[in-house]
């Protein structure tokens, strides 16, 4: 199976209520870049949770990295989750750790040398505009600053799959452009990226597939082949910004 994610007739309901997701079928190829849109309550968060292994569907088949998650023992999902990066809309930062230590966590759990951890974390925090806030704890940071810490933590280990829920919702256009460029560069290295957003400027004319959820049903528009998104010109391109991956 060449798909990094495959859904076959997936349905999801909570308790005895109506289905939140109905007959969802799609596949994501390695290295693809997709947007996920839809009105509030359409099921975007539920769909993302299934894709990053926080939730199992009520029916249908879901394959992640070629594994059928309905039959995969829960203890075996840990190794799969380490290949997935998630930018949560509510950040989910550890309040007792500094911005630096929050971002460093994914590297430290894999046993990377501390000298290399420091180099990569510092580079990334400078990139997202937090050079002067590395030692700050999340409660002392603004919402936009916390969001940038969350994004840096999600991408620091170069995941094979990256999900971002409204990643530019709390930042200005210049920082939004840097963040989108970061996602583009990560995508160039082979990471499959899915961004949930209400920002039409981000999706219109991007040349990337758009997955639209409405009433629990999914419709995909745009080319399904791998194509790199380029939306920075719509957000305020920062031509001087460079980063290596």
Question: What pLDDT score does 48 carry?
Answer: 94
The tokens for 102 are 């929050």
Report the pLDDT averaged over residues 191-218.
87
Question: What pLDDT score does 238 carry?
Answer: 43
**Alpha carbon distance 166, 87 (integer Å):** 8
Structural contact between residues 16 and 173, judged by C-beta atoms closer than 8 angstroms: no
Domain coordinates of the chain in residue numbers?
A: 84-158
Torsion of the alpha carbons at 88, 85, 225 and 59, rounded to the nearest 10: -70
Question: What pLDDT score does 1 carry?
Answer: 57
The tokens for 89 are 């809309």
Cα separations (Å) of 207 from 57, 204, 230, 232?
30, 8, 8, 13
Question: 37, 153, 45: which is closest to 94 by C-alpha?
Answer: 153
Per-residue pLDDT reduced to its tens digit, 57-102: 999 999 999 999 988 887 788 889 989 999 988 899 999 999 999 9
Question: What pLDDT score does 205 carry?
Answer: 67
- Number of neighbouring beta carbons within 10 Å of residue 168: 25
Question: What pLDDT score does 203 carry?
Answer: 82
Confidence of residue 140 (pLDDT cuts 50, 70, 90): very high
User: pTM for the full model?
Assistant: 0.85
Report the pLDDT averaged over residues 204-225.
82
Question: What pLDDT score does 3 carry?
Answer: 86
Please tell me which residue, 109 or 241, carries the higher pLDDT value: 109
């Amino acid at each position: 199976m060449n798909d990094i994610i495959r859904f076959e007739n997936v349905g999801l309901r909570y308790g005895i209520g109506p289905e939140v997701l109905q007959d969802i079928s799609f596949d994501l190829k390695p290295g693809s870049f997709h947007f996920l849109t839809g009105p509030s309550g359409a099921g975007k968060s539920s769909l993302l949770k299934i894709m990053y292994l926080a939730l199992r569907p009520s029916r249908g088949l879901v394959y992640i990295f070629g594994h059928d998650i309905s039959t995969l023992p829960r203890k075996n999902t840990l190794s799969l989750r380490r290949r997935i990066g998630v930018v949560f809309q509510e950040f989910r930062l550890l309040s007792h750790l500094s911005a630096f230590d929050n971002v460093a966590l994914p590297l430290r759990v894999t046993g990377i040398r501390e000298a290399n951890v420091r180099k990569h974390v510092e580079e990334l925090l400078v990139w997202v505009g937090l050079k002067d806030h590395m030692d700050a704890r999340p409660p002392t940071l603004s919402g936009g600053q916390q969001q940038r810490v969350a994004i840096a933590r999600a991408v620091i280990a170069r995941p094979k799959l990256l999900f971002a829920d409204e990643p530019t919702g709390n930042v200005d256009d210049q920082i939004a452009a840097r963040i989108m460029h970061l996602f583009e560069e990560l995508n160039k290295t082979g990471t499959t990226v899915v961004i949930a957003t209400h920002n039409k400027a981000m999706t219109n004319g991007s040349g990337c597939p758009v997955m639209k959820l409405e009433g629990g049903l999914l419709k995909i528009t745009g080319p399904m082949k791998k194509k790199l998104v380029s939306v920075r010109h719509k957000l305020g391109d920062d031509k001087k910004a460079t980063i290596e991956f």
